[in-house]
Amino acid sequence: MEIKGSVALVTGGNRGIGEAFVRAFLAAGATKVYVGTRDIANARRLVDEGQGRVVPVELDVSKPEQIEAAAAQCQDVSILVNNAGQFAMQTLLRAPDLTAARSEMETNYFGPLAMCRAFAPILARHPESAIANVLSAGGIVAVPGMGGYSPSKFAGRAMSTCLRAELAPQNTSVTALIVGSVDTRMASHVEGAKETPETIALVGLKAIRRGESEVDTDYMAVDVRANLARDPMGYELLMRRSLSGERVTTGR
């Protein structure tokens, strides 16, 4: 998949990893980058930097009508990055009700699925196209302290596998990006070494170019996968410590 000359759409593109993806696409020669954001005003800085190549799109992926409107507006997209996410910092049983878990599933699973469904016909118009789903190390190992977030990322990973099979005939690759510890607002509770959003975006673009199925984007993601393979039950017991309110650390 060639990045130069492509047209990308990045959900949650106004800050953090999403913002880094927008800048990485511009640097790699993308013709246009749509910035999906709940408030278009939040993308003003990127629009100014993009010199006509950045287009803001009002987009909350938990709202089907906004996804439909985005698909109608962005008819030239060849790369879709499902980056928007939510972490409510609630456990499954201690939460007062299911509101947080439902919201996390809407944003982290049903939203990206709806985006893929809406944009699949648009991506099919190109000889090559791609979808990158920004997931989490919490989607390969269950983290009890992450409540509905971890299950939603497991669902996103399974979705990526299913869609990869369905979209193969139209030559649309689907890449699952397994993200560990990154220096963003969502990971402010995590101690230890953190990768920059820019690093994650560059790894993501490299994975898109190669049509990779699944890529661990940083040290923590690699470390989680290795420890899980080495001692699955031991690692599950270790993750239980998150229930006691212990600070999460990358171990580096």
More confident: 242 or 147: 147
Q: Is the pLDDT of residue 202 over 90?
A: yes
H/E run at residue 100: helix 99-105
The answer to whether 179 touches 137, Cβ cutoff 8 Å, is yes
Burial of 144 (0-12, 13-18, 19+ CB in 10 A): middle
Per-residue pLDDT, 190: 57
Per-residue pLDDT, 244: 78
The answer to whether 248 touches 191, Cβ cutoff 8 Å, is yes
What average pLDDT score do residues 64-80 get?
98
- Confidence band for 167, pLDDT divided at 50, 70 and 90: very high
Q: At 63, list the tokens.
A: 């709202």
What average pLDDT score do residues 203-218 get?
97
Q: Count the domains in the chain.
A: 1
Domain of residue 11, residue span = 7-249
pLDDT tens column, 107-157 = 999 999 999 999 999 999 999 999 999 999 999 999 999 999 999 999 999
Report helix, strand or coil for 132. strand
Per-residue pLDDT, 183: 62
Q: Is residue 2 in some structural domain?
A: no
What average pLDDT score do residues 221-234 get?
94
- Confidence band for 241, pLDDT divided at 50, 70 and 90: confident
% of the chain residues with pLDDT over 70: 92
Q: Is residue 130 in some structural domain?
A: yes
Q: Is residue 1 in some structural domain?
A: no
Q: Is residue 201 in some structural domain?
A: yes
Q: Is the pLDDT of residue 245 over 70?
A: no
Q: Is residue 186 in some structural domain?
A: yes
